[in-house]
Amino acid sequence: PGTSHVLAEKEFERGSSNALEQEQAMRAGIEGSEFQLMYQPKVDARTGRLTSLEALARWSRPGVGQVSPIEFIAAAERTGLIGALGTALLKQACEQIAQWRTHYTHCVPVAVNVSPLQLLDPRFPQLVAHMLQSCGVAPQWLTLEITESSAVQNLEQTTVQVEQLRGMGVHVAMDDFGTGFSSLNMLRSLRLHTVKIDRGLIDPLPSPDAVAVVRAICQLAEALHLHVVAEGVETQAQAVAARDAGCGELQGYLYSKPLL
């Protein structure tokens, strides 16, 4: 016990100083506007025309380089910084929409990813309303992407929040559907507009079993009056299979990587 105690302590110290360093760097990064959004197109599965954009966060950490959003979003959730970061990103997206709206006649809606922890805050719908109003953006230009894990774990609360957002005119999409919980009860209970099928189910297309699964999700979505987006489309064969299975919109490197 004596020696393992010493080892554990060293490991702990190293871990916590790393975490602390990252937390401080993130805090400074939020204040210093180091976080930026990139925008990835979604296209109409039939015509190939641009339908909307998804805003994806990027962090270029000084002295370190690009940090993956999977890593820094998780870190922000652990350290309680997700509220501040999420608000900063939502603001950035709304300002960008407002700017596009003043410069271009043809604009498309922008989807912003929302952490389960942001959605847990009962004041979240008010925050969104305030942000839209202060940027002068009409709600139909904003979609919020929520993940199924958050919805399943807090179904009652999520239902209330989604209903409020819907009432305001903001669209809500279920992200990464099909690999996690894939709760059908949740799909039915939440008044969503869109389901995004996870890349994990699109990747094996056009194999017949994968086609069967995607088609089943599309049929279910149609019965519930939900739009379907296929995520992570990388090849023409996947695009054709996803379209034929019933996906209305496609997103992935085949069309474009996220753009600045």
User: In the complex, which residues of this chain contact ligand C2E (CB under 6 A)?
Assistant: 40, 56-57, 68-70, 73, 89, 113-115, 145, 175-176, 199, 231-234, 252-253, 258
Q: Of 139-158, which residues contact Mg ion (CB under 5 A)?
A: 145
Structure tokens belonging to residue 157? 């609360």
Between 113 and 158, CB nearer to Mg ion:
113
Residue 125: CB minimum distance to ligand C2E, A = 16
For 41, residues 6+ apart whose C-beta sits below 8 A from its C-beta are: 50, 52, 53, 251, 255, 256, 259
Residues 33-72: x where in contact with Mg ion by CB under 5 A, - otherwise, as a string: ----------------------------------------
Residue 249: CB minimum distance to Mg ion, A = 13
H-state helical runs in the chain: 2-31, 69-79, 82-103, 116-120, 124-135, 148-153, 155-168, 184-189, 199-202, 208-223, 236-245
Which of ligand C2E, Mg ion, none does 69 bind, CB closer than 5 to 8 A by kind?
A: ligand C2E
Residue 3: CB minimum distance to Mg ion, A = 45
Could you say whether residue 249 binds Mg ion (CB under 5 A)? no
- Name the residue whose CB lies closest to ligand C2E: 252
Which of ligand C2E, Mg ion, none does 115 bind, CB closer than 5 to 8 A by kind?
A: ligand C2E
From 176, 214, 226, 249, residue interacting with Mg ion (rule: CB under 5 A): 176
Query: Which residues is 229 bridged to in the sheet?
Result: 196, 249
Residue 47: CB minimum distance to Mg ion, A = 23
Between 7 and 70, CB nearer to ligand C2E:
70
Residue 228: CB minimum distance to Mg ion, A = 13
- 89 touches 37 (CB < 8 A): yes
Q: What is the rounded CA–CA span in Å between residue 119 and residue 255?
A: 30
Residue 91: CB minimum distance to ligand C2E, A = 12
Nearest partner of 108 among 174, 195, 36, 43, judged by Cα? 43
For CA atoms 35, 54, 115, 141, the dihedral sign is positive
| Secondary structure (H, E, C), 41-95 | EEEECCCCCEEEEEEEEEEEECCCEEECHHHHHHHHHHHCCHHHHHHHHHHHHHH
Would you tell me which residues interact with Mg ion (CB under 5 A)? 113, 145, 175-176, 231
